[in-house]
Amino acid sequence: MRVLIADGLAKEGSALLKQNSKIELLAFDAIDRMELKEKLPQIDILIVRSRTQVDKDLLETARNLKLVLRAGIGLDNVDVPACTDQGVVVMNAPTGNIVTTAEHTLAMIFAVSRHIPQADAALRSGKWEKKKFQGNELRGKTLGLLGLGNIGRTVADRALGLGMRVIAHDPYVNPEAAAKQKIHLVGFDELLTTADYVSIHVPLIKSTEHLINEVALRKMKKGAYLINCARGGIVDEKALLMVLNEKHLAGAALDVFETEPLSPDSHLFKCQDLVMTPHLGASTDEAQVQVSLEVAEQIALYVGEGVLKNTINVPNVTLEQLNTLKPYVQLCEKLGAFATQAGPQNVKKLRVHYEGHISELNKELLTLSVLKGFLSPILSTTVNFVNARKLLKERGIRVEESFEQECADYTSLIELTVTGDETFSCTGTLFGKEEARIIKVDHFNIDAIAMGHLLYTKNIDQPGVIGSMGTLLGTHGVNIARMHLGREPKKAEAIALINIDSEPSVTALEALRKTKGMISVRAIKI
């Protein structure tokens, strides 16, 4: 695969990518956008940091792009919905800069508490102002963390070591799990009114934009400090300046801003109680090396094993999961492809039902495999795990899922029901470890190998039909590899799933449809 690094990468990670025999690498420290657009049509994987904007305009030229990998945790510069629309997997590298960002947060806490930047500037100007820059100890103070993810927990661990009390607000964290780390979970308002230091560790999404607004800032303790090393836009900067100038807060520290780079004429520069750094949270030698190694590992897993790690718009799959799921993924895709070719028109709903051991596995990936299989035979656009649900939704097709842990006759089975002009269902399972079998079509029990070219026929259950089919196919040069039959005596109907060696001609299909007793004939490729 052709991999392009757009914004530079530490030499350690680049070296690993160069050594990978399955990769052709193009590396740039800061590629011009026009040059990038010229090269993208031949690129499979694009690696960016925070500089390159991956938007709709850029993606229009990326005909072969399969993966965008952000070398870092933030995705502000990657249009994830646009990537999803085009079927491009989006990954980030979230763990390489955890410690570095946590340490920068603590550095900012120390800086605002002891007035380090202001004292340094005064001393350099010839002033010795010890009393003016008298600060505060951290020991015994309360640190309030908005968000308790990897970085938040790391900050908490270091803060506890400094003798601070740590509280946190995160609706997605279990209180017992937090308590084990000696962190007390509280509500949003309680955190604001209780903490001496409020440190932000949440992503910038619609619900967190201006989360720290004037109302929130005025709820904070008088004399408290605000720290933001997460994302610009979470803090309303105008409101922050207002409460700082009113001396409601003792100070604040920002590493990130609503607009970056910060404008030289920004009013933030005029505030003496504000410490600022130019988005340095992840900027250490060690973090850049760790992120580059993380990126190289993720790409090696992707191109070598098909493993998805740290994905944003598709489920993650570990190597162990992939080994377990791979035959089921193939079965699901075959069931989807079979149903769209054998089932009804004007489809309104798909229902996927899992029974047995498979109900305990990654059902999201399996359902996506069904959807991918269902859409691929009928669409000219690329269908993959990323865009399958969206493409189905655009066509007004609902998806339902259900499961049962018990399965009477098999270790696992998957049933796909399609509702349209009529209702059609097909059920599959694995024989042995990998062989995909179709074991039921509608109310007909059958045992067919789901592979290659198939003929799916329905006929009146009467003598001579099967013999006529075999003779007719032979006459048209169609070789039968296997034939699987199902009967419904009460309705006097039968079906056949016939594995054939090659695609049947239109003439052969028309002749089959005219066979006495034949109800329907479908040519299927799975």
- Give the pair of three-digit tokens for residue 266: 């920004």
Q: How does DSSP classify residue 113? A: H
In the 3-class helix/strand/coil scheme, how is 51-82 assigned residue by residue? CCCECHHHHCCCCCCCEEEECCCCCCCECHHH
Counting Cβ atoms within 10 Å, is residue 341 exposed (0-12), middle (13-18) or buried (19+)? middle
User: What is the total residue count of the chain?
Assistant: 526
Q: In this structure, which amino acid lies at residue 251?
A: G
Q: What 3-state DSSP class applies to 96?
A: coil
Asked if residue 97 lies in contact with residue 281, where contact means CB atoms within 8 angstroms, the answer is yes
Q: Are 244 and 271 in contact (CB under 8 A)?
A: yes
Q: Active site residue: 104, 153, 169, 279, which one? A: 279
Choose the catalytic residue: 129, 260, 360, 422: 260
Cα(276)–Cα(288) distance, rounded to whole angstroms?
21
Q: Where are the alpha helices (DSSP H) in 317-462?
A: 319-342, 363-375, 388-394
Tokens 């079998």 appear where? Answer: 437
Say whether 210 is catalytic: no
- Contacts of residue 140, Cβ cutoff 8 Å, sequence gap at least 6: 163, 164, 165
Q: How many angstroms separate the CA atoms of 160 and 35, rounded? A: 49
**Closest among 419, 414, 451 to 329, alpha carbons compared:** 414
List the catalytic residue out of 115, 231, 437, 484.
Answer: 231
User: Do residues 287 and 99 make contact, with C-beta atoms less than 8 angstroms apart?
Assistant: yes
The 3-class secondary structure across 3-16, one letter per residue, is: EEECCCCCHHHHHH
Q: Long-range contacts made by residues 117-126, C-beta under 8 angstroms, separation at least 24?
A: 117/275, 118/272
Is 184 assigned a catalytic role? no
Q: Where are the alpha helices (DSSP H) in 380-487?
A: 388-394, 465-475
Cα torsion 399, 404, 405, 407 to 10°: value is -110
Q: What angle do CA 163, 169, 175 make, to 5 degrees?
A: 85
The reply to whether 260 belongs to the active site is: yes
Between CA 252 and CA 245 the distance in angstroms is: 11
Kind of pairing, strands 67-70 and 142-146?
A: unpaired
CB atoms within 10 A of CB 468: 16
Catalytic residues: 231, 260, 279
